[in-house]
Amino acid sequence: MPPAQLPPCSSARSTDADAGARPAWKAEADLIARAALAGVRVIRSTADNGQPEWIASRWNLTRAFGSLEELERWLAVVVGAAR
């Protein structure tokens, strides 16, 4: 599986007309960082159907997610259960 890829530095600047808009890559990077702080490794990959997926691993348990929203909900449950 290829490692998570962030856009090159030149595209990291927001060019949205709405300066308050949060780039999708930043939301993904923030979620992956929060997962890492909770002891969860997240890898961005591609599913068999060609769609992006995120693989989360913690304590030798692995789960695949089809969207960042699914991953975020699962992470909230896992982190909440660990506290």
| Partner residues linked to 52 by β-bridges | 46
What is the pTM assigned to this prediction? 0.67
Q: Which two tokens stand for residue 21?
A: 């808009």
Delimit the domains of the chain by residue range: 42-83
* pLDDT tens, N- to C-terminus, the chain (83 residues): 445 554 454 444 445 445 567 788 899 999 999 999 999 999 999 999 999 999 999 988 999 999 999 999 999 998 876 55
Q: Which two tokens stand for residue 63?
A: 């789960």
